[in-house]
């Protein structure tokens, strides 16, 4: 087990550097100059621009820049400075993070409760009408793009029915976060329920379930103890990896509902070509994703004893 | 045109009757499939007494497993149907019992052992848990008590270092050990009867012998009835008291074990016996029954075996043979012997 | 339970047959059927497959022959037809049928011409992703060892950047966003999924007996790869590719919403533009949304139907 963890950690290192390098190159090597962008249409004097570029190290060779950047992260946990405001990226992140965390957490909870619930319901009735209905419904949920869903829900519930606020003014109010959370959770919810449903339907026909029945165990026990323990394994691992998906989806949801979270910040930094902020934020996201990945693998080993001793 | 007559009862094999523990009477099991109705079990009769071992022999598709599953009550009843028949356990017809009553019998009075222990055991639960759960559910024992009992049982089935291994998982055991665990689970509540569905097919030959010995020993000790389902004649010889040979959902021959091997009364049985490779068969082509088991959607008319039978005549293609008592040439009853063949006399006597 | 699905039982050789005896087996042929043959039999009768296929054919027709469906011009804006003019739902398939947008352009005409963008991006990306991802996955899966380690790490690197983020950053650098640019950006981050699927399928297939047999017979590596392994990896790849096609179409629309999508007529652009007027002129956003959803749904349903047909476990 220890060797397994060590091996995974070792594998993560090149991936971390690779991904950060990739995003670095994409941001800086592609056309577009963040410093010039600062001045908008007015344009600035070439000396000022040059001075600023020098200040931010943008006049150096790209790989040297990357090296310095990495050094900053590893040695000082310095993820760079936001050019427009001059604030460290970590500060910018610190403001936006709790908001997105609440939104994401809420969405995650919805995804688990509704997703797994629906999936179990359908899985136990595999092949029957209820199952087909759930399958079609989830297909529909997957097909509707997030922003379309956001617009429509916003229109129906906020404008027409006036049950909910159209925008989130106070990001600590969970009532206001409800609609955005649902929108954010929808696609994942559909995947989770399908995965759960399939897992349960398959496991229901497994030999060990037949044995459990042959042992005279009541149906309830067969389902909750034997079936669920096995069926939930792929679902739990998927949920772990979905964290990355939530982060990505947050960009859109935050845009529609006007939430000042990480998603919004990322979007702004892309449009404004705030290279440093963008790279900084993405690096942090990558770290989060890698850690989540590792935890999911460990969780998988905990849940499935067959993996533990491999 | 096929003519089917009522089956004549086969004389009971023991003197001083103790009533059979389990009696299957005229059982029919059908499956509704997309392509039609499959008659997996077609009028099967057999019985087992306490302390007795019945071996049910047949190829895949003969209906031997489906019969066993019907006895246990673990068939999926939507595709499966039991249009006819009785399954009497201690004189009571289980088919007329409620689901709850049947559930109480399962695992406790009648237990089953399956072929592939690796897939038949829950991979994410410890062995001790899986054995112990029988005590917790059927007898209300506590976790600790159940665990102690599990260790006891694992010892009983000769798993070394049971106390240390009780928390291990199925995949950590060898094939033979896993099968012993299945046996332990079956034995746990000291059932009256065990059904073993191909318990050794997935095992090596040497391990096979060990497992079969264990089963036989335990059966003697607890005086249980044992139904051994298999397609392997070699396994059966030491353990069984009597044999029922099945083909295409019907019993084609019954006999006490020695008798069957010495003098089979059905061409199918004869074919099976002839197919066993022997050491003195040097340089000769191995015999195999020609053809394949029938597609149960399209069972041949008349005797289901007729396309493959070396002795098939016209009557075999039109009339379904009924299981009749087999006698000596002079007419004396041969106890416990029956054959469903129009020409059983020729088959057994020469 | 007895295996009843495939049977090669023919009537036994007639060495003792009587010519007058009717054949006991029915005349129905029991020829062996392959996985694909069985799958096709299932699909033909599957309503979801049929519906989605019809939809897709319709979409392809709309893409290649827009003139058949509308005489309107999607780029021509007649400001006299101010967008507050509601849709004339009675005049089906006319230019007024679904109303006009803020620039006086016919919503319906834009709906028809917008199909081109989605279909092009969808098919283009899927094609590119399948080639690149498939190749990488196959090489990684087949050769294993160092090659696999390196390639898998490469896949991980690309995987580490969330799909939407990566495409956003890439597209932001190109002010001229033609279909090629969009396809390129989506493929750049989309190939990883298919690489993983292919790699998994190859690893499973690699261990089968018939591959070992081919090796033992001295078959060359390319031959093994293309004749033996590839056909057996097609099933999961086709399923994932089909479903991904739907997802890519959705992604293109999402990127348009963010202002980073295709330049030109596309449903994503229309939805995005229409969003701001949702309170007073819902139709501008509504109809492209419906069209987009149906398109994505069609591909995903197709993928699902194919998956169910190919899955031996549901037989």
CB B67 within 8 A of CB B95: no
Chains near B with 3+ CB pairs less than 8 A apart are: A, C
Looking at the predicted structure, is the pLDDT value of residue A168 above 70? no
Task: Give Cβ neighbours of residue A258 (< 8 Å, ≥ 6 apart).
Answer: A167, A168
Q: Which conformational region is residue B305 in: left (phi greater than 0), alpha (psi within -120 to 50 degrees), or beta? A: alpha
Looking at the predicted structure, is the pLDDT value of residue B297 above 80? yes
Q: Distance between CA atoms of A260 and A262, rounded to whole angstroms?
A: 7
Predicted pLDDT at A115: 93
Q: Establish if B74 touches chain A: CB-CB under 8 angstroms.
A: yes
Domain boundary among B210, B240, B270: B240
Q: Where are the domains of chain C?
A: 45-70+105-314
Query: Which residues of chain B make contact with C8, given a CB cutoff of 8 A?
Result: 292
B301 shares a domain with B226? no
User: Domain of B112?
Assistant: 2-9+20-240
Query: Which residues of chain A make contact with C304, given a CB cutoff of 8 A?
Result: 135, 139
Q: Distance between CA atoms of A258 and A168, rounded to whole angstroms?
A: 6
| Cβ <8 Å between C300 and A143 | yes
B294 shares a domain with B218? no
Q: Establish if B119 touches chain A: CB-CB under 8 angstroms.
A: yes
Predicted pLDDT at B112: 95
State the alpha helices, DSSP H only, in chain A. 2-29, 34-38, 46-55, 62-76, 89-124, 129-143, 146-153, 174-204, 207-214, 219-221, 228-257, 262-271, 275-303, 305-308
Q: Establish if C1 touches chain B: CB-CB under 8 angstroms.
A: yes
Query: Which residues of chain C make contact with B292, given a CB cutoff of 8 A?
Result: 8-9
CB C235 within 8 A of CB C310: yes
CB A269 within 8 A of CB A281: yes
Predicted model pTM: 0.80
Strand order in the sheet with B250-256: B110-113, B193-197, B225-230, B53-57, B242-247, B250-256, B333-339, B324-327
b/e per residue, C135-161, with b = 16+ CB within 10 A?
ebbbbbbbeeeeebeebbebbbbbbbb
Q: Which pLDDT band holds residue A110 (cuts at 50, 70, 90)? A: very high
Predicted pLDDT at B149: 93
| Cβ <8 Å between B294 and C26 | no
B132 shares a domain with B236? yes
B100 shares a domain with B139? yes
Find the helix packing angle between C163-172 and A228-257, rounded to 10°: 30
Looking at the predicted structure, is the pLDDT value of residue B13 above 60? no
**Residue B15 domain-assigned?**
no
Task: Give Cβ neighbours of residue B217 (< 8 Å, ≥ 6 apart).
Answer: none
Interface of B with C in 46-105 (CB under 8 A): 60-61, 63, 65-66
B144-158 pLDDT, tens per residue? Answer: 999 999 999 999 898
| Cβ <8 Å between C1 and B298 | no
Q: What is the mean pLDDT of residues B163-170?
A: 92
| Cβ <8 Å between B61 and C2 | yes
Looking at the DSSP assignment, which residues form a beta bridge with residue B110?
B106, B193
The alpha-carbon gap from A16 to the nearest alpha carbon of chain B, in Å, equals 33
- Domain C45-70+105-314 sits in which CATH superfamily? MetI-like (1.10.3720.10)
Chains near A with 3+ CB pairs less than 8 A apart are: B, C
Query: Which residues of chain A make contact with B185, given a CB cutoff of 8 A?
Result: 211, 215
Interface of C with B in 29-88 (CB under 8 A): 30
User: Rounded to the nearest 5 degrees, what angle is found at the Cα of A262, between the Cα atoms of A260 and A268?
Assistant: 75
Number of domains chain B contains? 2
Q: Distance between CA atoms of B250 and B26, rounded to whole angstroms?
A: 10
**Cα radius of gyration (chain C):** 26
B132 shares a domain with B187? yes
Task: Give Cβ neighbours of residue B307 (< 8 Å, ≥ 6 apart).
Answer: B291, B294, B300, C11, C12, C24
B183 shares a domain with B291? no
Within 13 Å, how many C-alpha atoms sit on residue A19's CB side?
29
B191 shares a domain with B154? yes
B110 shares a domain with B236? yes
Q: Distance between CA atoms of C199 and C160, rounded to whole angstroms?
A: 18
Q: What is the mean pLDDT of residues C72-77?
A: 75
B203 shares a domain with B319? no
Looking at the predicted structure, is the pLDDT value of residue C271 above 90? no
**Residue B105 domain-assigned?**
yes
Looking at the predicted structure, is the pLDDT value of residue C109 above 60? yes
Predicted pLDDT at B151: 94
Looking at the predicted structure, is the pLDDT value of residue B236 above 80? yes
Q: What is the mean pLDDT of residues B90-97?
A: 91
The alpha-carbon gap from B99 to the nearest alpha carbon of chain C, in Å, equals 22
Predicted pLDDT at C230: 83
Looking at the predicted structure, is the pLDDT value of residue C31 above 70? no
Query: Which residues of chain B make contact with A212, given a CB cutoff of 8 A?
Result: 122
- Count residue pairs from B and C with Cβ separation < 8 A: 47
Q: Establish if B138 touches chain A: CB-CB under 8 angstroms.
A: yes
Chains near C with 3+ CB pairs less than 8 A apart are: A, B
Predicted pLDDT at C212: 84
Q: Distance between CA atoms of A150 and C104, rounded to whole angstroms?
A: 26
Q: Distance between CA atoms of B88 and B92, rounded to whole angstroms?
A: 5
Q: Which pLDDT band holds residue B12 (cuts at 50, 70, 90)? A: very low
Average per-residue pLDDT in chain C?
A: 80
**Residue B245 domain-assigned?**
no
User: Rounded to the nearest 5 degrees, what angle is found at the Cα of C106, between the Cα atoms of C103 and C107?
Assistant: 100
Q: What is the mean pLDDT of residues C178-202?
A: 91
Predicted pLDDT at A1: 67
Q: Establish if B314 touches chain C: CB-CB under 8 angstroms.
A: yes
Q: Distance between CA atoms of C199 and C196, rounded to whole angstroms?
A: 5
Looking at the predicted structure, is the pLDDT value of residue C20 above 50? no
B271-282 pLDDT, tens per residue? Answer: 888 888 887 778
B328 shares a domain with B183? no
| Cβ <8 Å between A229 and B112 | no
Q: What percent of chain A has pLDDT over 70?
A: 89
Q: Distance between CA atoms of A15 and C154, rounded to whole angstroms?
A: 7
Chain C residues with at least one Cβ partner in A under 8 Å: 153-154, 156-158, 160-166, 168-170, 172-174, 246, 250, 253-254, 257-259, 271-272, 275, 278-279, 282, 285, 289, 292-294, 296-297, 300-301, 304, 313
Domain boundary among B188, B219, B240: B240
The domain that holds B110 is classified in CATH as 3.40.50.300
Q: Point out the least confidently predicted range of B153-157, C26-30, C118-122.
A: C26-30
């Amino acid at each position: 087990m220890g060797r397994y963890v060590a091996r995974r950690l070792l594998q993560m290192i090149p991936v971390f550097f690779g991904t950060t390098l990739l995003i670095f190159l994409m941001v800086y090597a592609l056309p577009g100059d963040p410093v010039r962008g600062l001045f908008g249409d007015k344009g600035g004097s070439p000396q000022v621009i040059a001075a600023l570029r020098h200040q931010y190290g943008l006049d150096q060779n790209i790989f040297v820049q990357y090296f310095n950047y990495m050094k900053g992260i590893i040695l000082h946990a310095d993820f760079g400075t936001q050019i427009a405001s001059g604030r460290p990226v970590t500060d910018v992140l610190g403001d936006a993070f709790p908001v997105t965390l609440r939104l994401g957490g809420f969405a995650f909870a919805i995804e688990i409760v509704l997703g797994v619930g629906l999936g179990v319901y359908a899985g136990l009735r595999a092949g029957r009408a209820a199952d087909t209905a759930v399958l079609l419904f989830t297909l529909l949920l997957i097909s509707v793009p997030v922003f379309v869903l956001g617009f429509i829900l916003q229109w129906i519930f906020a404008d027409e029915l006036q049950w909910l606020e159209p925008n989130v003014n106070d990001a600590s109010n969970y009532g206001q976060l409800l609609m955005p959370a649902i929108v954010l959770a929808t696609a994942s919810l559909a995947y989770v329920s399908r995965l759960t449903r399939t897992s349960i339907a398959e496991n229901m026909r497994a030999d060990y379930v037949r044995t459990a029945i042959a042992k005279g165990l009541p149906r309830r026990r067969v389902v909750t103890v034997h079936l669920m323990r096995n069926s939930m394994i792929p679902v739990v691992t998927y949920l772990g990896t979905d964290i990355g998906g939530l982060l990505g989806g947050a960009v859109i949801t935050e845009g529609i509902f006007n939430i000042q979270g990480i998603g919004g910040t990322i979007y702004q930094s892309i449009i404004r070509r705030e290279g440093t902020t963008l790279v900084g934020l993405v690096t942090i996201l990558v770290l989060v994703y890698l850690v989540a990945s590792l935890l999911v693998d460990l969780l998988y080993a905990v849940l499935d004893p067959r993996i533990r001793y491999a | 045109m096929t003519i089917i007559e009522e089956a004549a009862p086969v004389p009971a094999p023991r003197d001083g009757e103790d009533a059979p523990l389990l009696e299957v009477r005229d059982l029919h099991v059908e499956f509704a499939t997309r392509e039609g109705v499959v008659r997996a079990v077609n009028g099967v009769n057999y019985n087992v007494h306490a302390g007795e071992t019945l071996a049910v022999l047949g190829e895949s598709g003969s209906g031997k497993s489906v019969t066993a599953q019907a006895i246990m009550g673990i068939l999926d009843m939507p595709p499966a149907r039991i249009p006819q028949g009785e399954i009497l356990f201690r004189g009571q017809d289980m088919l007329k019992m409620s689901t709850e009553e049947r559930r109480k019998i399962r695992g406790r009075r009648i237990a089953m052992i399956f072929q592939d222990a690796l897939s038949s055991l829950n991979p994410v639960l410890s062995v001790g848990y899986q054995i112990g759960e029988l005590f917790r559910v059927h007898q209300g024992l506590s976790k600790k008590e159940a665990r102690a009992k599990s260790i006891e049982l694992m010892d009983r089935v000769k798993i070394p270092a049971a106390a240390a291994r009780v928390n291990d998982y199925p995949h950590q055991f060898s094939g033979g050990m896993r099968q012993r665990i299945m046996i332990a689970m079956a034995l746990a509540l000291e059932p009256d009867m065990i059904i073993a569905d191909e318990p050794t097919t997935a095992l090596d030959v040497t391990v096979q012998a060990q497992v079969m010995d264990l089963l036989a020993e335990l059966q003697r000790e607890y005086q249980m009835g044992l139904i051994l389902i298999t397609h392997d004649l070699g396994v059966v010889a030491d353990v069984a008291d009597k044999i029922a040979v099945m083909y295409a959902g019907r019993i084609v021959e019954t006999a006490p074990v020695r008798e069957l091997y010495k003098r089979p009364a059905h061409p199918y049985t004869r074919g099976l016996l002839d197919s066993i490779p022997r050491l003195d068969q040097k340089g000769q082509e191995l015999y195999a029954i020609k053809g394949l088991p029938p597609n149960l959607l399209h069972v041949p008319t008349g005797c289901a075996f007729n396309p493959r039978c070396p002795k098939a005549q016209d009557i075999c293609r039109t009339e379904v043979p009924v299981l009749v008592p087999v006698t000596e040439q002079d007419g004396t009853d041969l106890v416990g012997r029956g054959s469903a063949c129009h020409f059983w006399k020729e088959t057994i006597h020469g | 339970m007895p295996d009843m699905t495939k049977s090669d039982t023919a009537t036994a050789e007639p060495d003792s047959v009587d010519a007058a005896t009717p054949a006991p087996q029915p005349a129905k042929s029991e020829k062996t059927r392959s996985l694909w043959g069985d799958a096709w039999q299932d699909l033909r009768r599957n309503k979801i497959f049929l519906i989605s296929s019809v939809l897709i054919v319709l979409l392809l027709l709309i893409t290649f022959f827009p003139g058949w469906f509308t005489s309107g011009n999607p780029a021509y804006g007649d400001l006299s037809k101010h967008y507050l003019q509601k849709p004339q739902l009675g005049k089906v398939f006319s230019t007024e049928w679904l109303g006009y947008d803020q620039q006086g352009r016919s919503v319906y005409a834009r709906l028809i011409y917008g199909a081109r963008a989605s279909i092009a991006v969808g098919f283009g990306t899927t094609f590119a992703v399948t080639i690149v991802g498939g190749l990488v996955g196959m090489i990684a899966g087949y050769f294993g060892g160092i090659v696999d380690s390196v390639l898998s790490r490469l896949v991980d690197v690309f995987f580490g950047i969330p799909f939407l983020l990566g495409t956003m950053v890439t597209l932001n650098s190109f002010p001229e966003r033609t279909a090629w640019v969009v396809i390129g950006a989506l493929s750049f981050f989309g190939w990883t999924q298919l690489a993983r699927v292919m790699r998994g399928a190859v690893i499973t297939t690699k261990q089968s007996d018939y591959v070992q047999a081919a090796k033992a017979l001295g078959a060359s590596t390319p031959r093994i790869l293309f004749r033996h392994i590839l056909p057996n990896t097609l099933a999961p790849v086709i399923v994932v590719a089909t479903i991904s096609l739907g997802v890519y179409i959705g992604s293109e629309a999402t990127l348009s919403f963010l202002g980073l999508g295709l330049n030109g007529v596309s449903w994503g652009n229309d939805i995005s533009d229409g969003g701001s007027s949702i309170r007073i002129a819902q139709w501008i956003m509504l109809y492209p949304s419906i069209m987009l959803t149906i398109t994505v749904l069609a591909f995903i349903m197709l993928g699902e139907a194919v998956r169910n047909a190919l899955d031996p476990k549901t037989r």
